[in-house]
Amino acid sequence: MPTNPVTAHTCKLDDVQSAHLHQHLKENGWEFREVPYARFAGQKEKTNVVFYESGKLVVQGKGTSEFVEFVLEPLILREAKVGYEEILDPELLAPRLGIDESGKGDFFGPLCIAGVYVNASVINAWKASGIRDSKSVGSDRKIMDLANLIVNTPGCVTSVVPIGNEAYNRLYDKFKSVNSLLAWGHARVIENLLSQKTRMNPSPIRAISDQFASNKATVSKALMELGRDLELVQRHKAEEDIAVAAASILARAEFVTRLNQLSKSWSLVFPKGASASVDAAAKTFISTHGAGELSKVSKIHFRTALRAQGLPEPAKVEWKRAVKKKTITP
């Protein structure tokens, strides 16, 4: 078993498993409470359990390890993994790079891409840290705390490439595609990390990132000199890997910091994302500073920029997955 027991655990349950868990909690004195989007949630002593409508189970608290080991695995899942992950999957401790970005879907603010090198000692140091995909972290303060932990962990090597709005808009004009721009940014971060290879012990065997383009070659073709010698792994839900999760936190911390700096510089609150409040802020910005300044604070290829200027939006193109035709041989 690990020296430091985990204080958070997530997994998926099917309907039968969730029913068994619900019954177990009722029979063993758990106190139930209401949680948004949850089918049920219970608390007992040092442990909280929430089962969401999506089928995701979240266990948190100091009693997490004991609950998973003695209730969840043997009684509900009928399997044993917690504490034996490295034995079941030695690749979990393999030295590697994780790459992720933040700001891609935000009209205001930069695009920030981050990379993190991890090895066995780094991963073990983070076991009870709560490092996970930044989208599941509830507050900017927590993001900042986790980012500080990551960059100060002995053995961890990091790199962040922030692409400010003016540079972003120039690059978008050059690449004509967000995916191509992202591929360049990912390649740049990998190159920056590998330039610090002397600090990595042992050397990374691969780089892992989310698959944001339908063609995996989009990123591999963008790799620079050092990155071409590294195995590149692109997969959906890559943030489940702790190296990618750590990169997502660093990228988000950089994005939030720079967005706040923009707000102070222009004396206007720039909301995150793309929404009605973002549309309103864009119109306010233009009425105050003029449309010509918009490229300094936003990604002007977004439809938001057209709406804010009262310009017509082009018709939306319905995306369809290409269907491969079957060939019938006589």
| Domain-embedded: residue 215 | yes
Q: Which of 79, 43, 81 is closest to 63 using CA atoms?
A: 43
Do 152 and 200 belong to one domain? Answer: yes
Q: Which of 232, 300, 96, 254 is closest to 161 using CA atoms?
A: 254
Do 82 and 204 belong to one domain? Answer: no
pLDDT of residue 152: 97
> At residue 231, what is the residue type?
E
Predicted TM-score (pTM) of the model is 0.71
| Domain-embedded: residue 290 | no
Do 140 and 233 belong to one domain? Answer: yes
Do 130 and 250 belong to one domain? Answer: yes
Do 20 and 164 belong to one domain? Answer: no
d(CA 148, CA 246): 11
pLDDT of residue 81: 52
| Domain-embedded: residue 252 | yes
Query: Which tokens in the block code for residue 110?
Result: 């930069």
Exposed/middle/buried for residue 303 (C-beta within 10 Å: 0-12, 13-18, 19+): middle
User: Which residues, in sequence order, are CB contacts of 169 under 8 Å at separation 6+?
Assistant: 295, 299, 300, 301
Give me the domain span that covers residue 135.
94-256
The DSSP H or E segment spanning 158 is strand 157-163
d(CA 59, CA 42): 10
pLDDT of residue 68: 87
Do 168 and 244 belong to one domain? Answer: yes
Query: Which tokens in the block code for residue 127?
Result: 């076991």
CATH code of 35's domain: 3.30.310.10
Exposed/middle/buried for residue 298 (C-beta within 10 Å: 0-12, 13-18, 19+): buried
Do 47 and 131 belong to one domain? Answer: no
For the chain, the distance separating the N- and C-terminal CA atoms, rounded to the nearest angstrom, is 59
Do 167 and 28 belong to one domain? Answer: no
CATH code of 194's domain: 3.30.420.10
Choosing from 87, 110, 137, the residue where a domain stops is 87
Positive or negative, the Cα torsion across 77, 11, 48, 66? positive
User: Which residues, in sequence order, are CB contacts of 23 under 8 Å at separation 6+?
Assistant: none
| Domain-embedded: residue 157 | yes
Exposed/middle/buried for residue 131 (C-beta within 10 Å: 0-12, 13-18, 19+): buried
Choosing from 87, 117, 139, the residue where a domain stops is 87
pLDDT of residue 7: 83
| Separation in Å, CA 93 to CA 89, 243, 303 | 8, 10, 43
Do 28 and 133 belong to one domain? Answer: no
Do 124 and 242 belong to one domain? Answer: yes
Q: Which of 122, 177, 110 is closest to 155 using CA atoms?
A: 122
Per the structure, the count of domains in the chain is: 2
pLDDT of residue 203: 94
Question: Per residue of the chain (330 residues), what is the pLDDT tens digit?
Answer: 344 557 888 999 999 899 999 999 998 999 999 999 999 999 999 899 999 999 999 999 988 888 888 889 888 887 545 444 444 344 678 899 999 999 999 999 999 999 999 999 999 899 878 898 898 888 999 999 999 999 999 999 999 999 999 999 999 999 999 999 999 999 999 999 999 999 999 999 899 998 887 777 888 888 888 888 888 989 888 888 899 999 999 999 999 999 999 999 999 999 999 999 999 999 999 999 999 999 999 999 999 999 999 988 888 766 555 554 444 444
| Domain-embedded: residue 137 | yes
Do 163 and 233 belong to one domain? Answer: yes
| Domain-embedded: residue 316 | no
Do 18 and 116 belong to one domain? Answer: no
d(CA 26, CA 28): 6
Choosing from 87, 118, 142, the residue where a domain stops is 87
| Domain-embedded: residue 293 | no
| Domain-embedded: residue 134 | yes
